[in-house]
């Protein structure tokens, strides 16, 4: 029997498949791809078999399997939920919200029945609202339910800063807090450092503002270039860092969506901030020093998420 810990990825689309590939090649956990045969038929089984066969040359020993059900996911330490439907032409925001809420609610309920001690990472959109759905469906403490958005948005922010300055992205330290939409995310310019130098001392205000705007529209930019489908490589890489921090108990300080309980003057709603991730999920929540303008935007992001939550239909008995 494998001594490696188990990670389940719910949803085997482009993002789920990319997460599975990056994760299994790390070699520190076994991976289960869970999806519904009525949605993707046998695709998740095909992806798992294809990845398993890559081990001969990629050189990993981790197991990668697929399942239509939930028994095989039992005992997972981390479960990543990527499943969700995209917005279709003519579909209202409320319809998308409640369609995905029903999917997330069902899958979370089934998953936690078999893995009652798991940490949940939510990927489905609208992400902050789906975190709220997952928290309610799982009945877990806030430490074990989180949203991925801040990691992806921060990756885009750091990429644009790195390219603008012509420096290594490894020396760009900046984070995006707040919400995970193109109107609610908050790049924290006041704390962005490049090799220990404040970003605001390296670029004029108008260039910094342009980088912030591009970051906030980062997902739409990739979508417009791909034409079909949305980003999946950067989201996968971002998610892997969260999984790794938990499975390997790394005590990483990273941005993600968490159920705030007084931080920034915000209570009982998911919003992005810096947390410490390790065994058991969120080990500490940090209230980051931000400017007054940034604080106002973070609070506005929380209010926007409260509005979305107000549009959620109650769970069916």
Buried b (16+ CB within 10 A) or exposed e, 67-98: beebebbeebbbbbbbbbeeeeeeeeeeebbe
Beta bridge partners of 146: 121
Looking at residue 88, its pLDDT comes to 62
pLDDT confidence of residue 28: 95
What pLDDT score does 40 carry? 60
pLDDT of residue 121: 98
pLDDT given for residue 2 in this prediction: 57
Q: How far apart are the C-alpha atoms of 149 and 23, rounded to whole Å?
A: 18
Whether 180 is a known active-site residue: answer yes
User: In this predicted structure, what is the pLDDT of residue 96?
Assistant: 79
Catalytic option among 44, 45, 180, 251: 180
Domains and CATH numbers, the chain: 5-148 (3.40.50.720), 150-310 (3.90.110.10)
What pLDDT does residue 317 have?
Answer: 58
Segment-wise mean pLDDT, segments of 10 residues, the chain, 317 residues: 86 94 96 83 93 96 96 98 73 75 95 98 92 97 96 97 98 97 94 98 98 94 87 94 98 97 97 98 97 98 94 78
Structure tokens at 298: 């973070």
Q: How many CA atoms lie within 13 A of 157 on its CB side?
A: 30
pLDDT at residue 92, as a whole number: 61
8 A C-beta contact, residue 81 and residue 124: yes
pLDDT value, residue 229 = 79
């Amino acid at each position: 029997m494998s001594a490696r810990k188990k990670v389940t990825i719910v949803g085997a689309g482009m993002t789920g498949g990319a997460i599975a590939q990056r994760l299994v090649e790390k070699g520190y956990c076994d991976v289960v791809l869970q999806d519904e045969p009525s949605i993707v038929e046998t695709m998740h089984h095909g992806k798992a078999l294809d990845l398993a066969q890559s081990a001969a040359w990629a050189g990993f020993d981790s197991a990668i399997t697929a399942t239509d059900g939930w028994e095989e996911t039992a005992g997972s330490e981390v479960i990543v939920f990527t499943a969700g439907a995209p917005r279709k032409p003519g579909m209202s925001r409320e319809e998308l919200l409640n369609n995905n809420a029903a999917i997330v609610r069902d899958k979370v309920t089934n998953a936690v029945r078999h893995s009652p001690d798991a940490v949940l990472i939510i990927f489905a959109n609208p992400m902050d609202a789906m975190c709220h759905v997952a928290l309610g469906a799982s009945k877990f403490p806030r430490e074990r339910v989180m949203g991925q958005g801040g990691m992806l948005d921060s990756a885009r922010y750091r990429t644009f800063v790195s390219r603008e300055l012509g420096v290594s992205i490894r020396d760009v330290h900046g984070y995006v807090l707040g919400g995970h939409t193109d109107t609610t995310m908050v790049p924290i310019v006041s704390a962005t450092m490049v090799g220990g130098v404040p970003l605001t001392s390296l670029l004029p205000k108008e260039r910094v503002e342009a980088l912030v705007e591009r970051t906030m529209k980062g997902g739409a930019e990739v979508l417009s270039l791909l034409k079909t489908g949305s980003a999946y490589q950067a989201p996968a890489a971002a998610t892997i860092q969260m999984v790794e921090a938990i499975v390997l108990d790394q005590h990483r300080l990273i941005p993600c969506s968490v159920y705030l309980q007084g931080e920034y003057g915000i209570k009982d709603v998911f919003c992005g901030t810096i947390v410490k991730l390790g065994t058991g999920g969120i080990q500490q929540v940090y209230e980051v020093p931000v400017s007054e303008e940034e604080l106002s935007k973070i609070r506005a992001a929380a209010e926007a998420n409260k509005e979305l939550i107000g549009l959620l239909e109650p769970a069916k008995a």
